[in-house]
């Protein structure tokens, strides 16, 4: 039986060439990066990712493990304006996050 696994992609980076204009820059996806801390429990991180980022339980668990062992994980990607309220909600929940 095959299982679907979701992995947070920390390796995805975008490089801009100097010829790109501002309209093209708007189309580039941004990411919410979640950082490890010594305060929050796995349960709190997992529940917050499910609630705020609409992860399923397996995806949230895997992201929490990556954050714990690697120090950070990209937990959501999209336009800056879509990610801003989600990143704010993560910060309000006491997690350490930023938009790249």
Over residues 46-68, the pLDDT tens digits come to 999 999 999 999 999 999 999 99
Q: How far apart are CA 17 and CA 25, in angstroms?
A: 10
Q: pTM score, two decimals?
A: 0.73
Out of 3.30.2350.10, 3.30.1390.10, 3.60.10.10, 3.40.50.2300, which CATH number does the structure's domain 29-99 have?
Answer: 3.30.1390.10
- Closest by CA to 50, choosing from 59, 38, 39, 42, is 59
Query: Could you give the C-alpha distances from 16 to 13, 19, 26, 31, 59, in angstroms and in order?
Result: 10, 8, 12, 16, 30
Q: How far apart are CA 29 and CA 34, in angstroms?
A: 16
84 pLDDT more than 60: yes
pLDDT band at residue 26 using 50, 70 and 90 as cut-offs: low
């Amino acid at each position: 039986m095959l299982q679907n696994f979701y992995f947070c992609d920390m390796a995805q980076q975008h490089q801009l060439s100097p010829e790109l204009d501002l309209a093209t820059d708007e189309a580039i996806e941004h990411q919410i990066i979640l950082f490890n801390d010594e305060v929050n429990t796995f349960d709190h991180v997992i529940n917050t990712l499910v609630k705020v980022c609409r992860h399923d339980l397996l995806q949230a668990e895997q992201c929490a493990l990556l954050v714990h062992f690697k120090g950070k994980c990209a937990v959501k990607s999209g336009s800056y304006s879509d990610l801003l309220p989600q990143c704010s909600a993560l910060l309000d929940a006491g997690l350490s996050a930023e938009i790249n």
